[in-house]
Structure 1
Amino acid sequence: MFPELNTSRLTLRQFRQDDLEPICENINNFEVSKMLTVVPYPYTKADGEWWLNHISETPLTQETNWAIESELGFAGVITIRIGESGVPLIGYWLGQPFWGKGYMSEATEAVVNYCFETLGVTKVTSGAFEENDGSLNVLAKNGFQTVGTQPEKSRARGEEDITLINVELTRDLWEAMRAVAV
């Protein structure tokens, strides 16, 4: 059963076929795709169809992809991929019209809580390109700590190497943050 998550302003839900158009519309924006590792630019309807098919065939034990639904409709995507180590890696993107509203911080908090509360993991990882201040702020707000950097490519940018900042949040830190928030 798909793990739908709700926050005060968002629903993180399973994808539907009618998400194809807003996916393509929002991610076919170089300002969005240039901050992602595997997303091409331009992003075509065929790319969106391939991706929707991929996520429908991928077991939730390997990857969970949520559509981020705001009061204005489809806003973006947040994903966890479970690697061989069993540690979830969070990835996400938000359509440019939805930037600066705190949506991604809210969605990330919900997914982090899901990882620790439901999946019972000991840590969660993520990363962002060093020039992606918005994403780095989302991760910092959620308690992620920098653990290193590495060169990485953005498919949208071709062969250009960009510095990726790797971050993690441990269960101990997450629990301490929750205790302070109470």
Structure 2
Amino acid sequence: MIPVLRTARFILRQPQSGDDEPIARYLNDFEVAGNLARVPFPYRLSDARAWLRTRLPNLPVEETCFAIALPEAGMVGHVGFHRGAEGPVIGYWLGRPFWGQGIMTEAVSAAIDWFFEASRAEALYSGVFHFNAASFAIQSKLGFVETGRSHLLCLARDAEVEHIDTQLTRTTWKARDR
């Protein structure tokens, strides 16, 4: 069962069927979808519903996803894990009306805390497209370090895009100042 994680301002919970409309609304924004590898554009309600059908309650830690739910706005974004070639990968997105408020840093931090408690993984991988300075700043703030550059298909852009590959070790995460 996916736990509910509480932060100072919101909860992270399992995505649910009622999230389909906000998911479609926020991901059908090229400014959001164009920063993500695995999200097509345009993004339709049917895409959100199809994705939600894959979100089962007993998925392994490395495939767990959380909806970011604000008390006053409902579901506004997502933080999730998936299996990658080198190990577990964290990805995230936030609806544009909520950018610049520190929400994503808070959400990713809570998800990483949970991940390292729930798994035995020694490292967590991520990265950003080279033009996504805001997301790179979040990762840097949380202790991710650049491990290289690659090219990754961005479905929304229908193109291979330069990607900054990053990694966060369990040791770095546990040693950080809170």
Q: Give the TM-score taking structure 1 as reference length.
A: 0.91
**Paired amino acid for 2:165:** N
In the other structure, the counterpart of 1:77 is: 78
In 2, the alpha carbon distance for the partners of 1:29 and 1:61 equals 29
Greater mean deviation of Cα atoms: 65-74 or 31-40? 65-74
Unaligned runs of 5+ in 1: none
Structure 1 residues 36, 168: closer, same or farther in 2, change over 3 A?
same
In the other structure, the counterpart of 2:171 is: 172
User: Conserved in 2, the CA contact under 8 Å of 1:37 and 1:152?
Assistant: yes
**Paired amino acid for 1:114:** W
Alpha-carbon offset, residue 74 of structure 1 = 1.1
Alpha-carbon offset, residue 118 of structure 1 = 2.4
Structure 1 residues 103, 12: closer, same or farther in 2, change over 3 A?
same
In 2, the alpha carbon distance for the partners of 1:66 and 1:128 equals 19
In 1, the alpha carbon distance for the partners of 2:125 and 2:47 equals 26
User: Conserved in 1, the CA contact under 8 Å of 2:22 and 2:75?
Assistant: yes
Secondary structure at 1:54's aligned position in 2?
Answer: coil
Secondary structure at 2:9's aligned position in 1?
Answer: coil
Q: How does 1:97-136 map to 2 (within 5 A)?
A: 97-136=97-136
In the other structure, the counterpart of 1:91 is: 91
User: Conserved in 1, the CA contact under 8 Å of 2:66 and 2:80?
Assistant: yes
**Paired amino acid for 2:171:** D
In 2, the alpha carbon distance for the partners of 1:20 and 1:151 equals 30
User: Conserved in 2, the CA contact under 8 Å of 1:61 and 1:82?
Assistant: no
Unaligned runs of 5+ in 2: none
Structure 1 residues 125, 62: closer, same or farther in 2, change over 3 A?
closer
User: Conserved in 2, the CA contact under 8 Å of 1:27 and 1:33?
Assistant: yes
In the other structure, the counterpart of 1:144 is: 144
**Paired amino acid for 1:175:** K
Alpha-carbon offset, residue 83 of structure 1 = 4.3
In the other structure, the counterpart of 1:24 is: 24
In 2, the alpha carbon distance for the partners of 1:91 and 1:112 equals 11
The count of aligned residue pairs is 177
In 2, the alpha carbon distance for the partners of 1:103 and 1:23 equals 17
In 2, the alpha carbon distance for the partners of 1:77 and 1:106 equals 12
Secondary structure at 1:97's aligned position in 2?
Answer: helix
In the other structure, the counterpart of 1:48 is: 48
CA RMSD in angstroms comes to 1.7
Secondary structure at 1:41's aligned position in 2?
Answer: coil
Secondary structure at 1:56's aligned position in 2?
Answer: coil
In 2, the alpha carbon distance for the partners of 1:90 and 1:25 equals 22
